[in-house]
């Protein structure tokens, strides 16, 4: 008898629309394969819905704040029902770019240089600080958002204007800009799944490039790398996955420049939409969508 699956999607983050799309596509595939499925919002009635439906497994289809930063995982832990993807601590670490990057550096994983900036209304010393610590262009981004939400590549001329768009965050990350190729690597259940290269027509693989079919981002698989380089890429991805004690599936975002792989961040809740990369990587390696979902479901747990 097929298991009962409760999918949690939607939420209050800036990635709500993507989460809803992920939830719908996961539900459609599971129903097609005879699972009993219910979909729910992560609202105040969630625990009651879980108790009423009595699922065997909860599929976490949330993205962004509250969904992949340890908060919803804490609530799910209290229900005792196994849930997919990473646990409380792993999710919190991966979502916090400052903590995760410090962890990468401590464990000899190359990541772009950065510093954390606390907003000063005048921003008068910022350009001097960037000249001292990094160099232009730089990337500015929130510390705890996903899907490249509010990420900007900034020159000396436009940084102050772009900073105004991020003032609500109070503190942000300012990171050296690494040119080069954009490559993503996926890990599932502590095993290497594969990689894909992206060639966006936009400046970089931003939110629109990720989720708009009109963005014309070119997906290249297999990635054109020597075997030794490809192996190195996947070794870094699985090292980061295990370093943070992630569960289920993760996708690590890299820049490849001058023969080096720079790990930008690790995503513990990669999308499962029609434009998402993990299903595309899996399909290339002979794993169809339902098999991918079942691999994720089989690794569900209540371990933090």
The active-site residue, picked from 35, 207, 211, 256, is 211
The active-site residue, picked from 182, 253, 256, 276, is 253
The active-site residue, picked from 91, 145, 251, 252, is 251
Q: Give catalytic status of residue 265 as yes or no.
A: yes
CA–CA separation, 54 and 81 (whole Å): 9
| The pLDDT of residue 123 | 64
The active-site residue, picked from 145, 182, 271, 276, is 271
| The pLDDT of residue 215 | 55
Q: Give catalytic status of residue 228 as yes or no.
A: no
Q: Give catalytic status of residue 147 as yes or no.
A: yes
Give me the architecture of the 93-110+179-298 domain, per CATH: 2-Layer Sandwich (3.30)
Whole-model pTM: value is 0.89
| The pLDDT of residue 210 | 46
The top-level CATH class assigned to 114-176 is: alpha beta
CA–CA separation, 155 and 99 (whole Å): 26
| The pLDDT of residue 6 | 97
The active-site residue, picked from 13, 19, 100, 147, is 147
| The pLDDT of residue 1 | 63
| The pLDDT of residue 135 | 87
Q: Give catalytic status of residue 77 as yes or no.
A: no
Tell me if the domain spanning 4-84 has CATH number 3.20.20.370: no
Q: Give catalytic status of residue 211 as yes or no.
A: yes
| The pLDDT of residue 124 | 67
| The pLDDT of residue 212 | 47
Q: Give catalytic status of residue 15 as yes or no.
A: yes
Structural domain boundaries in the chain: 4-84, 93-110+179-298, 114-176
Show the low-confidence residues of the chain (pLDDT under 50). Answer: 204-207, 209-212, 214
The active-site residue, picked from 69, 145, 206, 265, is 265
Q: Give catalytic status of residue 144 as yes or no.
A: no
The active-site residue, picked from 15, 29, 68, 69, is 15
């Amino acid at each position: 008898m097929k298991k009962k699956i409760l999918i949690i999607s939607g939420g209050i983050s800036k990635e709500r629309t993507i989460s809803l799309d992920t939830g719908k596509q996961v539900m459609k595939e599971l129903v097609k394969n005879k699972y009993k499925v219910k979909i729910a919002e992560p609202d105040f009635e969630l625990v009651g819905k879980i108790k009423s439906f009595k699922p065997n497994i909860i599929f976490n289809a949330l993205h962004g704040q509250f969904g992949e930063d340890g908060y919803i995982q804490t609530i799910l832990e209290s229900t005792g029902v196994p849930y997919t993807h990473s646990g409380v601590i792993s999710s919190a670490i991966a979502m916090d770019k400052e903590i995760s990057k410090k962890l990468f550096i401590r464990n000899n994983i190359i990541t772009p240089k950065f510093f954390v900036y606390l907003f000063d209304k005048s921003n008068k010393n910022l350009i001097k600080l960037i000249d001292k610590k990094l160099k232009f262009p730089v990337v500015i981004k929130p510390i705890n958002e996903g899907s490249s939400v509010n990420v900007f590549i900034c020159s000396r001329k436009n940084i102050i204007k772009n900073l105004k768009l991020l003032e609500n965050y109070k503190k942000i990350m300012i990171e050296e800009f690494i040119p080069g190729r954009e490559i993503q690597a996926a890990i599932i259940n502590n095993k290497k799944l594969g990689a894909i290269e992206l060639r966006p027509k936009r400046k970089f693989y931003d939110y629109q490039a990720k989720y708009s079919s009109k963005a014309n981002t070119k997906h290249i698989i297999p990635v054109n790398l020597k075997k030794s380089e490809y192996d190195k890429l996947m070794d870094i991805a699985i090292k980061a996955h295990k370093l943070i004690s992630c569960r289920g599936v993760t996708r690590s975002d890299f820049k490849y420049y001058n023969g080096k792989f720079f790990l930008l961040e690790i995503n513990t809740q990669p999308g499962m939409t029609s434009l998402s990369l993990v299903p595309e990587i899996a399909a290339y390696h002979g794993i169809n969508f339902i098999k991918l979902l079942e691999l994720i479901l089989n690794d569900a747990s209540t371990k933090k």
